[in-house]
């Protein structure tokens, strides 16, 4: 029923930009808090950016502040992550995730985490 599908990953040079998209189905993106998370093999999952349900308050990891922007298009039922000035340490598999009840998905990290997850899209930053 609830589906999240990420797209937009790819290979970029340091300093380049990518725009990730998360297509939601089975729910409205303004009714759920939604976050972008990333994971590298051997490392724990990291919250990158979140947008809260209803009014759309945004949250960012310190490492991406000023470089990444999360947004949503309610009409298209999409959430985006604009990533600028990419660094090698940004390379990871990026996932979007959503939860119908929790407001904050990034700070603090809830336990348990978001209920629904996408399949991920890979971002590589060639150094």
Structure confidence by residue, pLDDT tens digits, 46-87: 999 999 999 999 999 999 999 999 999 999 999 999 999 999
pLDDT of 108 reads: 80
Q: Is the pLDDT at 112 greater than 90, yes or no?
A: no
pLDDT of 46 reads: 95
Q: Is the pLDDT at 127 greater than 90, yes or no?
A: no
Question: Average pLDDT over the chain, rounded to whole?
Answer: 96
- Under 8 Å between Cβ of 78 and 72: yes
Local confidence band at 109 (pLDDT 50, 70, 90 cut-offs):
confident
């Amino acid at each position: 029923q609830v589906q999240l599908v990420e797209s937009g990953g790819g290979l970029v040079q340091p300093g380049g930009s990518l725009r990730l998209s998360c297509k939601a189905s089975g729910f409205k993106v303004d009714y759920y808090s939604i976050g972008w998370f990333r994971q590298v093999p051997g490392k724990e999952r990291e919250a990158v950016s979140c947008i809260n349900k209803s009014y759309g308050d945004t949250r960012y990891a310190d490492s991406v502040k000023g470089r990444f922007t999360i947004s949503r298009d309610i009409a298209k039922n999409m959430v985006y992550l604009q990533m600028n000035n990419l660094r090698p340490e940004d390379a990871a598999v990026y996932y979007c995730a959503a939860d119908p009840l929790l407001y904050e998905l990034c700070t603090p990290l809830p336990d348990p985490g978001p209920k629904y997850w996408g399949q991920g899209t890979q971002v590589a930053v060639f150094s």
